[in-house]
Amino acid sequence: MAQEKAVIEVPDLIVRTGEAPELRLQVRSAGFFGQGIGGEVVSVRAGKWEGSALTGEGGWGRLALPRLPEGVHELRASLASTRRYSARPATGVAAFWPLRRPWAVVVLEGAAAPAKREALPIGSVGVGPPRDGAPDGFRRLSSTHAVVVLTRRSERSRAEIRAWLDEHKFPAVPVVFLSGEPGSGEGASADLKAWLAERRKEGRRLSVGIAERREDLHAFLDAGLRAVRIGEGGKIPEKARRVPTWKDVRKEVPQRSRLDTVRSERPESVRVLPAIFGDRRIGTM
């Protein structure tokens, strides 16, 4: 009997250093409208650690990850031996960052040039080539900041976006899927504003936001971040900064001492928070 094709979905996690998060993954049949598949065992590796999860209703499975050192760690998931389905291994990342580390939030269009629609294959999420110097800019920014990528594309495009980042040699960064639409007028970027507000409540230090849309730049400014747009053209808010290429981003990013960015002691007044994942009201990673 021929095996049916399946897809493994591994969300990215952002967790406070020292915590042991729970990973919630899914196995579904192939295709954009594929249904969840229960009763499958998924093996997950994170460095030298290995665990497994059994999928249940809706194809969802859960397992507890270990406490990993500070930094961004690759998660690699694959189906255990099965006669029913075959699936390519899937990858995600688990970012372990202390609360003191400043964040740089990048809307995907701030890192990718517009795609030429006539060249897009059917089903493509439409991510163009990286903007000039973006992969190197990400690496430099990652040395002092926790870099997070946001997108409003469908969660079903997770594997394609991860493949795009890998193909163009971006450093490992978590990708967050906002659940709303960009919107306009007073409701513009409400999804981004809500996500930023939640991160503030958790005690995260939001430092800089990089985006293309004027409304997203406004959202960053309203949340107290420094807002930066890459490239010429288009109106930007008065207080936002514009730089020619990603090579110039570091000039606009507040710099902190190494001690300030990597210290991981827990402040007495800070409550320990669970891992960020799967919150469909605001955004999903």
- pLDDT score for 127: 79
Three-state SS string across 23-50, please?
A: EEEEEEECCCCCCECCCCEEEEEECCEE
Q: Which residues pair with 150 in a beta bridge?
A: 107, 176
Beta strands, E only, 108-183: 146-151, 175-178
Q: What is the pLDDT of residues 51-61, one digit of tens each?
A: 999 999 999 99
Domains contained in the chain, CATH given = 4-97 (2.60.40.10), 102-262 (3.40.50.1000)
- Closest C-alpha among 14, 177, 173, 22 to residue 99: 14
Mean pLDDT of 237-260: 80
The pLDDT, as a whole number, for residue 276 is 45
Comparing 84 with 10, which gets the higher pLDDT? 10
Burial 26-42 (b: 16+ CB within 10 A, else e): bbbbeeeebebbeebeb
Shortest CA distance to 92 belongs to which of 176, 180, 191, 179?
Answer: 176
pLDDT tens-place string over residues 192-244: 999 999 999 999 999 999 999 999 999 999 999 999 999 887 889 999 999 99
Average pLDDT, the chain: 85
Handedness of CA 96, 128, 207, 214 (dihedral sign): negative
Query: For residue 250, which of 228, 222, 234 has the smallest C-alpha distance?
Result: 228
φ/ψ of 259, rounded to 5, equals -60, -40
Whether 99 has a pLDDT exceeding 60, the answer reads yes
Q: pLDDT band at residue 260, thresholds of 50, 70 and 90?
A: very low
pLDDT of 262 above 50? no
CA angle, 142 then 146 then 148, to 5° = 100
> What pLDDT is attached to residue 98?
97
Q: Is the pLDDT of residue 122 over 50?
A: no
pLDDT score, position 271: 38
Q: Comparing 278 with 73, which gets the higher pLDDT?
A: 73
